[in-house]
Chains A and B, each alone.
Chain A
Amino acid sequence: MAVTQLVGAKIHRREDPRLITGHGHYIDDFTRQGTAYASFVRSPVAHARVKSIDVTDASKAPGVVGIYTARDFKGQLAGTHPAAPAFVAEKKYVPERFPIAEKEVTYQGEIVAVVLAESKGQAADAANMIQVDYDDLPVVMDLEKALAKGAPKAHEAGPDNVCWDFTYTPLDLTEAAFKEADVVVKERVLQNRLAPVPMEPRGVLADYEGFDKKLTMWLSSQNPHFIRLFVSGALGLRESQVRVISPDVGGGFGSKISPYPEDYLVPALSRMTARPVKWIETRTESIQNSTHGRGQFYDCEVAAKKDGTLLAMRVVQYVDVGAYHGTFGAFQPVACLMAGGGYKWKGISARTVGVLTNRVPTDPYRGAGRPEATHLVERMVDLVALELKMDPVDIRRKNFIQPEDFPFTQNFGLVVDSGDYDKSLDKALELAGYAELRKKQADLRKQGRYMGIGLSTWIELCGFGPSAATAPATGGIALVESAQVRVTPTGAVIVYTGTHSHGQGHETTFSQIVADQLGVPLDSVELRHGDTAEGTSFGYGTYGSRSLAVGGVAISKAVGKVIDKGKKLAAHIFEAAEEDVVFEHGNFHVKGSPDKSKAFGEVAFASYGMGLPEGMEQGLEAVAYFDPPNLVWPFGAHVAVVEIDAETGSVKLEKYVAVDDCGNIINPMIVDGQIHGGVVQAIAQALYEEVVYDESNGQLKTGTMIDYLVPSAGEIPPFILDKTITPSPTNDLGVKGIGEAGTIAASVAVINAICDALSPLGIKHVDMPATPDKLWHMMKEARK
């Protein structure tokens, strides 16, 4: 490899010039001549039979091209919405889902009709004129009530509301350990339902060209190749007939991984009308219909010894699946497999129950299962510490998996590849000034003030993933990653990756890797993604902090193949043995005689010429797929400091320290940016955000940004960030993931700080979001 110049450096992002000048290309920036605009009619009620749909007035409205209901799509769309096995191989009941409801609607926002018109406004006007007669059915909202015998059903045809009920490890596994225990703590820990709220809502533009029988669709997606797979299947087209282009994507956070009803309906409408069709989601549609995250609760028990040794954990996870099984909705039970965190346990018994309700489906949202696991274990460990009157630092240190234990096989057979948990904790405590903070806390408590310090010593598994684990999870396709490197005759390097950035800066980081490896300037490397017509046959998208640890490594492998061919050719030119040719600093030369050398560009040019070695074909390009041998395991330690206003219950975040370890770093600026954003998303879960439905009728009460509180710059504390670097042994680059780390770590640091602050009142546990109203009531109750 060339001397590292770019990897590890703060390189300005290459995508920024277009984005800061208003020249990015997001989905709504595309249009086609002759486009018709779609407006969807959505159920205003959460659960009802659809008695009739009257389109008489609407069809006479100006500009209307057509009005379509479920019946019109029969013969156009085949099959039901995909539901991946993920971490629950056996499902009890997966309701069939069609992109448009016919006889029964099961959540507020489900599509019942669609209007096409000459303009957006005309489509919306006509949609408002459609009269749908609904016959209300009882709604299923509360998870426990939904599981009771004889409960109303989220789907009339369903046997009950159990989507899955799966035991990973049975209760008796932990029986002996619980008998040994000096203390047992029990808690129910809630995970508030969240809306991902990418700043750019979703949208689809589809153009089916009937004579060519080819569909091009533009949509805002993290996962263009999977969308091609699903949409081509539903429309009865070969994948080669469908081109999916996902341009600049204005954030995703998991909500742009899975296919949506509109992703099928819009291209079908284009085919039905022989016109390009466009639909752009409104914010209210987004909060109402984009998949939600979390929406769970956990019943957990932890057994420990008097000295703070953790023995065993019992956990039952209840997941609000929503009205349908999200495509990757059963990923969330990974929380069970990660419930032990960075600690050693004799046993963990775990069961997950997926419950159908009349809410929009849940699916992965930044962190997906791992924030929940961290929140649970870090909360439970604090509860044990409180019970034993131990410092939260001491109980963690006592139970950490130690550096010499790695690779460490945890209770569910997952192999944690590397770590040094004390080291990141040491650094975080030092940066926070932990000892002084405790002194300050003692002083403030004497004054009746509620200051708290919260820890989160988090671990993560990411980089999905090894074929052995991921092929069964998707139902067949292994989540490896592909890359293609093409070198033109003049030495320009074009790199195609199957991942797709939605803010992570892949155009920059991936180019840094390639430029270093080839010893060429950054400018001669072009990174392409997001268009299924380019590059390899299949790409796997961006989610689960996989892009660098899987996609980046695939790119590096493909570059390696290019260099190998270059060496063969250079050896031929030098009339030397191939094994004597060295490639460094962008030049090929014969070992021991660096003066006789050929630049990478010269060899590229020669590869398109004549007189190649026997059997060598022209050209310089390579494809590589990377199937990682293991997942990667980032970790870190966060410290949050809060003060709670005794009069109002409002929480002020005084300080936030994050020490994270994502292995080797390609671009530290981008890594810090990922942590900032991730931490703030988790702070938002801890303090502000919650999707609220009316429990009596399933009406969404937080359907706008007025009610759903995405924090602004005014709510966010200053950060202190630092790193430890423990390279991953899983891949040649030694990298892990960082996209989700902040979100995995931070919610519990804030909540632990709040619980710590309120502990003098005897308050042990607070659920999210810790709103002033909630805390004020809890404090008032506790003071009685």
Chain B
Amino acid sequence: MKHKVAVTVNGHKHEHEVEPRLLLVHYLRDVIGLTGTHIGCDTSQCGACTIHVDGKAVKSCTMFAVQAEGRNLTTIEGMANGDELHPIQQAFWDEHGLQCGYCTPGFIMAAAYLLEQNPNPTEDEIRRGLEGNLCRCTGYVNIVKAVQTAARTMSSTPARKTQVTAGGN
């Protein structure tokens, strides 16, 4: 009953035999051991499990692991380059864009995709762009600020692909 799945996660290749019903988020957390991607609901509302699948933001609870066959995945662990934080991570730190931190990985991944699609979003575009992610601590005020700050830093520094080739585990 098990199916083979081969994926690239944060530049590393992984291959496993998994149950067809295994959700991608559980595969990442329980099989590969990347626990930075969180689970906050059962109904794809909260966005805590957001990752990038071939560069697009995806709630990893909405996919089965087997559907990720052959795909290139980036999780929160793949965002920093060694000790060098991704500008969005840095901005969340600088602007106090997190409190308990549980929703934060999902927000950072969603924000990264948002800024890739729209490097200079208005406040309203940020708020609407992040509507798929829920935070219970910050009231979103500093999350929005963090994304604005990140947009500024990223537009003033050379483009950096969020997709890394190695490291980050």
Binding site for B on A (CB under 8 A): 12-13, 15-17, 19-24, 26, 28-29, 121, 197-201, 248-251, 253, 282-284, 502-505, 669-670, 672-674, 676-681, 704-706, 710, 712-714, 716, 718-719, 742
- Asked if B136 is at the interface of the complex by the 8 Å CB criterion, the answer is yes
A21 and B85 form a contact (CB under 8 A): yes
In the complex, what residues of A have CB within 8 A of residue B143's CB? 713
- Asked if B102 is at the interface of the complex by the 8 Å CB criterion, the answer is yes
B100 and A198 form a contact (CB under 8 A): yes
Q: What's the Cα separation between A249 and B45 when bound, in Å?
A: 20
With A250-B38, A251-B137 already in contact, the answer to whether A12 and B102 are too (CB < 8 A) is: no
In the complex, what residues of A have CB within 8 A of residue B93's CB? 12-13, 16-17, 20
Q: What's the Cα separation between A503 and B137 when bound, in Å?
A: 8
Binding site for A on B (CB under 8 A): 19, 21-22, 29, 34-43, 45-46, 48, 75-77, 79-80, 85, 89, 92-94, 96, 98-105, 108, 123, 126-128, 130-144
B46 and A673 form a contact (CB under 8 A): no
In the complex, what residues of A have CB within 8 A of residue B142's CB? 672-673, 676
In the complex, what residues of A have CB within 8 A of residue B38's CB? 26, 28, 199-200, 250
B100 and A282 form a contact (CB under 8 A): no
With A199-B48, A677-B136, A681-B136 already in contact, the answer to whether A20 and B42 are too (CB < 8 A) is: no
Interface centre among B19, B100, B123 (most CB of A within 10 A): B100
10 contacts between A and B (CB under 8 A): A16-B98, A21-B89, A198-B102, A200-B40, A250-B103, A251-B102, A251-B136, A704-B42, A705-B46, A713-B140
Q: What's the Cα separation between A676 and B38 when bound, in Å?
A: 23
Out of B22, B40, B45, B79, name the residue touching A201 (CB < 8 Å).
Answer: B40
A22 and B77 form a contact (CB under 8 A): yes
A248 and B137 form a contact (CB under 8 A): no
A679 and B127 form a contact (CB under 8 A): no
Out of B36, B96, B136, name the residue touching A199 (CB < 8 Å).
Answer: B136
In the complex, what residues of B have CB within 8 A of residue A16's CB? 92-93, 98, 101
Q: What's the Cα separation between A677 and B142 when bound, in Å?
A: 10
With A12-B94, A283-B42, A705-B45 already in contact, the answer to whether A23 and B36 are too (CB < 8 A) is: yes
Return A224 CB to nearest CB of chain B, in Å.
Answer: 16
Return A35 CB to nearest CB of chain B, in Å.
Answer: 11
Return A320 CB to nearest CB of chain B, in Å.
Answer: 23
In the complex, what residues of A have CB within 8 A of residue B100's CB? 198-200, 248-251, 502-503
In the complex, what residues of B have CB within 8 A of residue A28's CB? 29, 35, 38-39
Judged by DSSP, the binding face of B is loop
Return B8 CB to nearest CB of chain A, in Å.
Answer: 17
Out of B21, B34, B35, B96, name the residue touching A673 (CB < 8 Å).
Answer: B96
A22 and B138 form a contact (CB under 8 A): no
In the complex, what residues of B have CB within 8 A of residue A713's CB? 126-128, 130-131, 133, 135, 140, 143-144
With A20-B85, A28-B35, A713-B126 already in contact, the answer to whether A250 and B79 are too (CB < 8 A) is: no
A673 and B77 form a contact (CB under 8 A): no
B134 and A705 form a contact (CB under 8 A): yes
Which residue on chain B has the smallest CB distance to residue A502?
B100
In the complex, what residues of B have CB within 8 A of residue A670's CB? 96
B76 and A283 form a contact (CB under 8 A): no
Return B32 CB to nearest CB of chain A, in Å.
Answer: 12
Q: What's the Cα separation between A3 and B79 when bound, in Å?
A: 39
B45 and A704 form a contact (CB under 8 A): yes
Which residue on chain B has the smallest CB distance to residue A706?
B43
Which residue on chain A has the smallest CB distance to residue B109?
A22
Q: What's the Cα separation between A725 and B146 when bound, in Å?
A: 27
Q: What's the Cα separation between A283 and B38 when bound, in Å?
A: 13
Out of B19, B43, B126, B141, name the residue touching A121 (CB < 8 Å).
Answer: B19
Out of B43, B96, B104, B139, name the residue touching A283 (CB < 8 Å).
Answer: B43
In the complex, what residues of A have CB within 8 A of residue B137's CB? 199, 251, 503, 673, 677
In the complex, what residues of B have CB within 8 A of residue A503's CB? 99-101, 137
A199 and B85 form a contact (CB under 8 A): no
A712 and B134 form a contact (CB under 8 A): yes
Which residue on chain B has the smallest CB distance to residue A716?
B140
A505 and B99 form a contact (CB under 8 A): yes
Q: What's the Cα separation between A712 and B101 when bound, in Å?
A: 16
Please provide the 6 A-B residue pairs with the shortest distance between their CB atoms, ordered closest to farther.
Answer: A22-B36, A250-B102, A19-B101, A503-B100, A680-B139, A22-B76
Q: What's the Cα separation between A444 and B87 when bound, in Å?
A: 44
B89 and A676 form a contact (CB under 8 A): no
Which residue on chain B has the smallest CB distance to residue A283?
B41
In the complex, what residues of A have CB within 8 A of residue B40's CB? 199-201, 250, 283
Which residue on chain B has the smallest CB distance to residue A683?
B139
With A676-B141, A705-B134, A713-B126 already in contact, the answer to whether A121 and B79 are too (CB < 8 A) is: no
In the complex, what residues of B have CB within 8 A of residue A673's CB? 96, 99, 137-138, 142
Which residue on chain A has the smallest CB distance to residue B98?
A19
